[in-house]
Structure 1
């Protein structure tokens, strides 16, 4: 996964540990004192509390009071910073709520088409080996996705599906660039295709896999073919994600049905970040029929612990760290103190931040500064709702423990 997919804390530590110059500086230093000054805005805190739309304990049991316009959305993205347990709770309960409320079944996930196919195989059959195989890659790579909270969530989705009629069962739609080339090779071998994906070049791997894909069919094959073609062309990750989603919409695989997914916060932003165009921004700027019906929810951390993959001479070590919340000392989100004043300990709380009459500006609660310069720079003049329509915090969540 790219740095844009990692949590702010992982970005900071990965940057530190991968740069010889920075590594010589020792541990990351806190932000300067002036950057941590963040007075509470009582009026904004009161307005947020009056527009609470999701609330409940970090352990689960959330209540939903989202406005009617939310349920008319065709692409709903929950943006988070990976490595914490609470977003996985929110993700499952929001997915279950959307399935119950509007019949949503398409989980547009931050996984590639083959990973999505294997996860669907698990959902359909209960084959634990398929689930293990997907998560084993993340565990070996030291990726934050390799955690027990995510794995348990997939099991809960299967349990939910077993209570639903066939037409209401949830399925994964993998639209990401290839994360696990070895799994792609294994999948092709299981389809009777002999393929060599040993090249160091992803473009060469993609061309070899494309040749082996000829003549195969199945739900994931068109998306896999599209992803491989884009990787073979050297397209960047956000382009691959957007174009694969667009393919699923235009081909009728998704069509006009609503889709939902949990993504790293960067991907879910509907405006430019650091001059780059995230997935959600590309959808919003496109001519897709879903362009005017994108809803982004962002959830941020206070008083919580995160799983961080830290490169060491002995290999990647997953650590539980509690100093990488949005109110310092290493990460600062403008308005963090106001979010604290509007929320309660031990709870997940999201607000309708773009409701009519919102006193917020476009970058409130979304502008990120870190102590190594991996910042989220947004358009300061953007209207509220340009980047996300719903935002909030979780407080006192534990980490998402590594899956060993």
Structure 2
């Protein structure tokens, strides 16, 4: 018996040592990938940043931005702050560029429900509940209270507008009933959007939308098909891509996605500095972002270090998901996206019960 306890003791020590060694390895690996902050890069970022905790003032946007045909915001699903950023971007673009066409990672049926909601003389939240039911099947991490609150606020914004200025939602994803997988989602979304943009009625219109992180990249990461943004660029459209990164935040991870999930379905594992998701160069943003809630950084100014660096565009995923690493033909971050939102302290999306 004593010998058995001794063996169990050795096994326990071994397991504890193995876990500790693995944790040390992960910390070292993540720190190495993140890299240390660089003074010149931090200086640039501090000169090209705007506080967007309240609203977006457009101070960082230039003629290249304003001449774009398509504006895309890319998120890691499940962070509540991204729903707020989506509302801010849409209302800013509507007020300043007349952008009234909102494109979304949903199908035309769900978009039809949103359009009915926006145009009813009284606010019918039951229609939003129906859209959330659709989202649970396609983007479950968006299907929460913040989504409802965003569209409720946009209803209030939209109601007093003249009919010619009212926001219209376009669902460009494949239909839920479409079981064909002969072409990729990004190809489907590109084809559906081009069908709208080439319609004479929308020839001179601009479009904006919130999508998953991958879809807004303007270059395909190694081992991946071409994202939506790259396909649109290749079709002759001018595209501006903005990505959203989080720090010290929580993400909604609903049960049933095949990943370990706590009872409250909220995890803090997908921040840009690890431990699951790690962004190369996030240390520069951290250093340039003292005492902030949500900031916007411009990456494509003429003197930008991101014109000769891949920082912020190299993303590693430990355990879950596939790395997003530009291939060897890509020389700069701004080839993939041009702006970054950085938010701190975002809660997780709150699921509707």
Scaled to the shorter chain, the TM-score interval is 0.7 to 0.9
Q: Which residue of 1 aligns with 2:142?
A: 145
Which residue matches 2:58?
64
Q: Answer yes or no: is the 8 Å Cα contact 1:345–1:396 preserved in 2.
A: no
* Residue matched to 2:13: none
| Correspondences of 1:256-271 after superposition (within 5 Å) | 256-271=204-219
**Cα–Cα, structure 1 residues 274 and 384, in superposed 2: closer, same or farther, change >3 Å?**
closer
State the partner residue of 1:326.
272
Secondary structure at 1:326's aligned position in 2? coil
Paired residues for 1:48-197 under 5 Å? 48-52=45-49, 54-57=50-53, 60-65=54-59, 66-125=61-120, 126-139=123-136, 143-179=140-176, 181=177
Using the alignment, how far apart are the partners of 1:142 and 1:174 within structure 2? 13
In 2, the alpha carbon distance for the partners of 1:154 and 1:259 equals: 17
Query: Does the residue aligned with 1:298 lie in a helix, a strand or coil?
Result: strand
Distance of aligned partners of 1:142 and 1:403 in 2 relative to their CA distance in 1, 3 Å threshold: farther
C-alpha change, 1:318 and 1:241, in structure 2 (3 Å) is farther
CA–CA separation in structure 1 for the residues paired with 2:256 and 2:309: 35
> Structure 1 pair 118/378, CA: closer, same or farther in 2 (3 Å)?
same
| In structure 2, C-alpha distance between the alignment counterparts of 1:371 and 1:170, rounded to whole Å | 39
Matches within 5 A, 1:156-305: 156-179=153-176, 181=177, 202-203=179-180, 234-275=182-223, 276-286=225-235, 288=236, 290=237, 293-305=238-250
Mark the runs of 5 or more structure 1 residues left unpaired by the alignment.
1-25, 182-200, 204-230
| C-alpha separation in 1, matches of 2:312 and 2:267 | 22
Q: Is the 8 A contact 1:305 1:321 kept in 2?
A: yes
CA distance 1:162–1:80, shift in 2 (3 Å): same
Q: Report deviation, 1:375.
A: 0.8
The answer to whether 1:369 aligns with 2:316 is: yes
TM-score by length of 1: 0.74
5+ residue gaps in structure 2?
1-18
Cα offset, 1:150, TM superposition: 1.3
- 2:347 matches 1:398: yes
8 Å contact from structure 1 (residues 363, 382) kept in 2: yes
How far off is 1:362 after superposition?
5.0
1:309 shift after superposition: 2.1
- Determine the C-alpha separation between the residues in 2 that align with 1:81 and 1:312: 15
Kept in 2: contact 1:121–1:127 (CA 8 A) = no
The 1-side partners of 2:202 and 2:343 are apart by 31
Aligned to 1:387: 336
Q: Deviations over 1:20-64 (max 9, x none)?
A: xxxxxx9xx763523323211121011011012x4232xx33433
Q: 1:123 is paired with a residue of what secondary structure?
A: helix
Alignment equivalent of 1:349, drawn from 272, 278, 295: 295
Let me know the Cα RMSD of the aligned residues: 2.4
In structure 2, distance between residues paired with 1:274 and 1:39: 24
Aligned to 2:28: 33
CA displacement, residues 303-358 of structure 1 (integer Å, 9 cap, x when unaligned): 11110123389x98761111321111222100111111112344211211011121
Change (3 A) 1:323 1:345: farther
Structure 2 length-normalised TM? 0.84
**What secondary structure, in the 3-state scheme, does the structure 2 residue paired with 1:311 have?**
coil
- Contact kept in structure 2, 1:81 and 1:264, CA below 8 Å: yes
Does residue 308 in structure 1 map to residue 257 in structure 2? no
Match of 2:10 in 1: none
Structure having the higher Rg: 2
